[in-house]
Amino acid sequence: MLKLAIFGSGSGTNCQAIIDAIEAGTLHAQITCVLSDVEDAYILERARKHNIPAIHFDCAPFKTKLDGEAEQNVLQILAEHDANFIALAGFMRIVKDGLLNAFAGRMINIHPSLLPSFPGLDGGKKAFDYGVKFTGCTVHFVDAGVDTGAVINQKIIAVEDGDSFESMMEKLHAQEHIAYPEALQWIAESRINFAGRRITLK
Ligand code: GAR
């Protein structure tokens, strides 16, 4: 059984899509906890509304990464909640070795571009500014690089002449909300390999 910990820093619409898919019975998983580095992030409120433990953790003194004592604290929270898989959903910090090694092959992310194009921050904006005619989203395994892990699922959208950045992102987010639960269900069914091997849930 996938026992998910979902990490996010913002509004949590992807987390909501995962919650909805579980409640609709199309995703066979449970969410053990939702974690955020941002105290008032709406993702935490979404979790509370569904009686899912919602936990804020402090990343200080680091601004862009989860490391050191904060990472140890997060590992303890994950153990306390018996999480065996991590879904990053709009989590805006770089995950470092301690968490990566503890969840090797058991951590995935969603990114708002067709990787390997436009990795890193603001992938959607970078693609729009570049003038791409097609873009989309990618669900991928997390490795030590920035958005470099093996691709699990992608969805494509067309960027029409009349599209603004906002209207493009609206279409993109709608596809993210399909792609993420779908990818998780494939993993729940052990249909995805990571670096040529099966994922073993603890
Ligand atoms: C999503 O578009 C996701 O692809 C992006 O943040 C948004 C979170 O939205 N992630 C990244 O840019 C990661 N580098 P949400 O909080 O509504 O799910």
DSSP 74-111: HHHHHHHTT--EEEESS--SEE-HHHHHHTTTSEEEEE
The answer for residues whose C-beta is within 8 angstroms of residue 38's C-beta and 6 or more apart is 9, 10, 56
pLDDT digits (tens, 9 = 90+) for 46-71: 999 999 999 999 999 999 999 999 99
The answer on pLDDT for 44 being more than 50 is yes
The answer on pLDDT for 178 being more than 70 is yes
Query: pTM (2 decimals)?
Result: 0.95
Query: Which residues does a 6 A CB cutoff place in the pocket of ligand 1?
Result: 8, 10-14, 43, 89-90, 110-112, 123, 137, 173, 176
Answer whether 150's CB lies under 8 Å from 195's CB.
Answer: yes
The residue whose CA is least distant from atom 2 of ligand 1 is 112
Answer whether 85's CB lies under 8 Å from 107's CB.
Answer: yes
The answer on pLDDT for 40 being more than 90 is yes
The answer on pLDDT for 195 being more than 80 is no
User: Kind and range of the H or E element at 28?
Assistant: none
Question: So which residues are the catalytic ones?
Answer: 111
Structure tokens at 99: 């968490």
Q: Separation of 12 CA from ligand 1 center, angstroms?
A: 8
pLDDT for position 192: 79
d(CA 62, CA 71): 11
The residue whose CA is least distant from atom 12 of ligand 1 is 111
Query: For the chain, how big is the Rg over CA atoms in Å?
Result: 16
Q: Which atom of ligand 1 is nearest to the CA of 109?
A: 13
The answer on pLDDT for 199 being more than 60 is no
Per-residue burial over 153-168, b = 16 or more CB atoms within 10 Å of its CB, e = otherwise: bbbebebeeeeeeeeb
- Indicate the range of 137-146, 162-171, 183-192 predicted with least confidence: 183-192
The residue whose CA is least distant from atom 10 of ligand 1 is 90
pLDDT for position 43: 98
The answer on pLDDT for 202 being more than 70 is no
pLDDT for position 196: 39
- Give the residue-averaged pLDDT of 4-18: 98
* Of 35, 111, 125, 166, best ligand 1 pocket probe by most atoms within 8 Å of the beta carbon: 111
- Indicate the range of 70-74, 177-181, 195-199 predicted with least confidence: 195-199
Answer whether 183's CB lies under 8 Å from 141's CB.
Answer: no
